[in-house]
Amino acid sequence: EIVMTQSPATLSVSPGETATLSCRASQSVGSNLAWCQLKPGQAPRLLIYGASTRATGVPARFSGSGSGTEFTLSISSLQSEDFAVYYCQQYNNWPLGFGGGTKVEIK
């Protein structure tokens, strides 16, 4: 089973700044890495798949990078609606696996 590790657990950022979230896989997942966003009371939302491809309707301020075992989600010019919990997910191997999440909070 591939273990996904996200860091930091919590990231305090001021509106308008850039948030950089990290995700590490215990073995290579190629580019089969997705990011999703969770907000209380809302349906989770897919942001990025294929490590760097934005899902339909996702603003350009969200960008993903990386391959193999190291991945990054960057959120530039943070807006109020971006404060949420973000999860990475590998889909290179069964069982599919999520990281522990990074909470992006207002500084």
Partner 1 sequence: EVQLLESGGGLVQPGGSLRLSCAASGFTFSSYVMSWVRQAPGKGLEWVSTITGSGSITYYADSLKDRFTVSRDNSNNTLYLHMNNLRADDTAVYYCTKDRCSGCPGDYWGQGTLVTVSS
Query: Closest Cα to residue 89, out of 49, 56, 61, 55?
Result: 49
Report strand pairing: 102-106 vs 53-54: unpaired
Q: Which of 28, 31, 52, 55 binds partner 1 (CB under 8 A)?
A: 55
Report the residue count for the chain: 107
Query: What would the two tokens of residue 25 be?
Result: 């896989």
Stretch that binds partner 1, among 10-18, 21-29, 63-71, 96-104 (CB under 8 A): 96-104
Nearer to partner 1, 14 or 43 (CB): 43
Residues that bind partner 1 (CB under 8 A): 1, 34, 36, 38, 41-46, 49, 55-56, 87, 89, 91, 94-101
